[in-house]
A and B are shown apart, each in its own frame.
Chain A
Amino acid sequence: TQLLEQSPQFLSIQEGENLTVYCNSSSVFSSLQWYRQEPGEGPVLLVTVVTGGEVKKLKRLTFQFGDARKDSSLHITAAQPGDTGLYLCAGIYGQNFVFGPGTRLSVLP
């Protein structure tokens, strides 16, 4: 069974602070995704990382895929209240997607 762990489970920060959340596994994935989910809605895909060591930037968000393709991180610079939500990572192997339990982020104004 492929498992993904995410840390921290909860994070509450002030507007303007930087933060990093982590996604770890003992399994190797062909690629990995990050999603953000708001209450009452489905997850929305933020990024897919494919190559070990890959770094992708999306405005204030920086995503990194570990060299061994077992872990990933999401760094947010100068967090804003609009970044509040549940951040989920998902590992892809074959036709299957395995999701981590999520990091719930709250950015206070």
Chain B
Amino acid sequence: DAGITQSPRHKVTETGTPVTLRCHQTENHRYMYWYRQDPGHGLRLIHYSYGVKDTDKGEVSDGYSVSRSKTEDFLLTLESATSSQTSVYFCAIRIAGVEETQYFGPGTRLLVL
């Protein structure tokens, strides 16, 4: 599992409140990714990081921001949560190479009321 943990694992919040999800890895991997998974859509990339303080947007980045101040932590923030952001959020680390490898965390289930 590449030592990936996500916290919290479950969260219920109200519309308009800020929410921060944390992804933590123990193996010093350079690349980290945040995805959301919704029925019928598979996994969609929100943001990714290719190093400390180096991040870029994915397919569905609107309403989300990220920060990576140290290698092991990648934070995803919903500045003002909306009901459309109710989803399961997965963090992943990527090991780049000829045969790419990606390991996923256990996920955070977020409900925005």
Q: A residues within 8 Å of B by Cβ? A: 1, 4, 31, 33, 40-45, 48, 50, 88, 90, 92, 95-102
Chain A residues within an 8 Å CB radius of B64: none
B107 and A96 contacting across the interface, CB-CB below 8 Å: no
* Pair A31/B100 contact, Cβ less than 8 Å: yes
**Interface contact A44-B44, CB-CB below 8 Å:** no
Which residues of B pack against A, CB within 8 Å?
31, 33, 35, 40-45, 48, 50, 56, 58-59, 90, 92, 94, 98-107
Is A50 touching B56 in the complex (CB atoms < 8 A)? Answer: no
Report A52 CB to chain B, min CB distance, Å. Answer: 14
Q: How far is the CA of A88 from the CA of B104 in the complex (A)?
A: 13
In the complex the two chains form, is B43's CB within 8 Å of A48's CB?
A: no
- From B42, B56, B98, contact of A88 by CB (8 A): B42
Q: Are B101 and A99 in contact (CB under 8 A)?
A: no
* CB contact between B90 and one of A42, A45, A101 (< 8 Å): that residue: A42
Contact of B104 among A44, A48, A101 (CB under 8 A): A44
Q: Which one of B33, B105, B107 lies within 8 Å of A97 (CB-CB)?
A: B33
Contact call A33/B90, Cβ cutoff below 8 A: no
Contact B41 A95 (CB under 8 A): no
Residue of B nearest to A89 (CB): B42
**A92 pairs with B100, CB closer than 8 A:** yes
Whether B99 and A100, one on each chain, are in contact in the complex, defined by CB atoms closer than 8 angstroms, is no
Min CB distance, B107 to chain A, in Å? 6
Chain A nearest CB, measured from B87 CB (Å): 14
Q: Closest approach, in angstroms, between the C-beta of A57 and any C-beta of chain B?
A: 15
Chain B residues within 8 Å of A96, by CB: 45, 48, 58-59
Q: B45 contacts which chain A residues (CB < 8 A)?
A: 96-98
Task: State the Cβ distance, B106 to closest chain A Cβ, in Å.
Answer: 6
